[in-house]
A and B are shown apart, each in its own frame.
Chain A
Amino acid sequence: MIDPIFLLEAAVNGVLLSGVLALLALGLNLIFGVVDIVWIAYVDLVMVCMYLVYFLVMVYGWPLWLASIASVALGALLGLGVHLLIITPILGSAPVNQLLATGGLLFFLQSFVTFLWTTDHRTVRLVLPVLEVGGMFLSFARLIAFAISLVAMLGLWVFLRRTYIGTAIRAVSQDREAMALMGASPQRVYCVTSAVGGAMAGLAAALLIIQYSVHPFFGAAFGPLTFMICVLGGLGNMVGAFVASVVMAEIIQIAGVIWSTEMGYVIAFVVFIVMMFVRPGGILGTRA
């Protein structure tokens, strides 16, 4: 029998992990909701930004906070670049072509990064304390990552609710033609959305590099998980994505303590498949 304190620790870790996962899922969801394209290579943009933070901190000696800001900026630029260079030329073509194009970007990024920096795992060595709370050991890095994720999500919420362009982004996701009739250039809204989604990938990168090492195939671990969370929450559904990220993180963490991390992923995927049969519209979606 496992000591209940370990299960509690796993549960708390699950909540902490869900913060960054939710940030990724919301970024992907935002772009999908507006541009109607799933960026298969989204988490690989995160991987590129993680390398940026790694090199800035470990090689050039930048403070982590400054490198994080640079990562957010690079993420926004990459998001804009993906939209202008890859999505815009094929915006009118069949959805499967758009999916394949971002899939191609995934392989390009993986290979190019491998070519540049080999497959070595690289870590930002941070000396951060481990907190002991009531017998549980909690990583300070995870706590910070969770707190910043929450603030960023709150910021996204305020942006989408309170600003003119944010409201226009929501309006476009409901009826893009009607928003053109209001005088909003669809391309401009797409660019802003892609840049914001990319910036969220950049922020997630800064929060992930203090917990995990980066390597060219980082996206292979977090990419499928992010898609699962988006689909489980209902594509385009922001609240659903948040709930789904908590559910998935809890399954992975708790099953990880009881059996192993690998088993945690297996169970998470099984739960995902079962949920797709039971609630194909997502956790909060209406029953089909």
Chain B
Amino acid sequence: MLELRRVTAGYGHFTALWDVTLRVETGEAVAVVGPNGAGKTTLMRVISGLVAARTGELVFEGDSLVGRKAHEIVSHGIAHVPEGRRIFPGLTVADNLRMGAFQPSARRVFAESLARVHALFPILAERQTQRAGSLSGGEQQMLAIGRALMSRPKLILLDEPSMGLAPVMVLRLFDLIRRVRAEGYTILVVEQNVRQVLKLVDRAYLLEVGRIRMEGRAAELAEQDFVRKAYVGL
């Protein structure tokens, strides 16, 4: 479904990703794990078009995404839930979800999408008229994911969904992401909470200082001594 071939990207003189090759098949859940500053967020931003790749190929369902702007990539069926959630704090919960369905094709099926999002996250239905900025961290993350689902994506990019959440909320959030997955969405997730995320996904990549260091089935990767010591904390 999504394939990156030897992608290099960065900001100014700084190169954050070196020769990254990665693929996500339809229906899969894939994680990219790694320490702070490894380039995980840059990788997500390259896929969603917020950062342009310097070299390399970016192919989604047969279409090249190289050179496409962020607002064009959404219409290909990729929704990016950015790091730090980035909901619109001054808008109501309902308006945030409306903005998620900004593209004409998503607007046509707005009512149906909204019903699905409300079924997944009933709290968003209860808090419709509330300002999004007044929600708790966990609720804001649900809103960010719900807003992404409103664009009717095929692939969802989740960047550090558990960041800043209380431990209890982290577990609940991973359960919710499992439910999103069960709805048939393909997921590419970046996480620092390696132990939890490896239980969620099929495959994982280990990214270190901008390069893919390891790749494999999530269960196998979790068994690697190196990964266990460095990231899982066992």
Binding site for B on A (CB under 8 A): 164, 167-168, 170-171, 174-175, 177-186
Contacts and interface: CB of A to CB of B under 8 A. Distances in A.
Q: Is the interface of A mostly helix, strand, loop or mixed?
A: helix
A182 B150 CA distance: 9
Given A181-B48, A182-B147, A174 B88 contact: yes
Contacts of B80: 181
B34 interface: no
A144 B89 CA distance: 37
Nearest to B86: A178
A93 to B, nearest CB: 15
A183 B103 contact: yes
Contact of A182 (B89, B90, B102): B102
B189 to A, nearest CB: 16
Interface residues of B, number: 26
A167 B75 contact: no
A237 B70 CA distance: 28
B82 A181 contact: yes
Interface in B96-119: 98-100, 102-103, 106-107
B86 A175 contact: yes
Given A171-B99, A183-B151, 7 more contacts: A168-B102, A171-B91, A179-B102, A181-B50, A182-B99, A182-B103, A184-B102
A280 B80 CA distance: 37
With a 10 A CB-CB cut-off, give which of B71, B74, B100, B106 has the most chain A CB atoms: B71
A179 B99 contact: yes
B49 to A, nearest CB: 8
A184 B71 contact: yes
A186 to B, nearest CB: 7
A125 to B, nearest CB: 46
B208 interface: no
Contacts of A180: 50, 69-71
B99 to A, nearest CB: 5
A185 B71 CA distance: 6
Contact of A183 (B75, B91, B98): B75
Contacts of B69: 180, 185
23 contacts: A170-B88, A171-B91, A171-B95, A171-B99, A174-B89, A177-B82, A178-B86, A178-B87, A180-B69, A181-B70, A181-B71, A181-B74, A182-B71, A182-B74, A182-B99, A182-B100, A182-B103, A183-B102, A183-B103, A183-B151, A184-B71, A184-B102, A185-B69
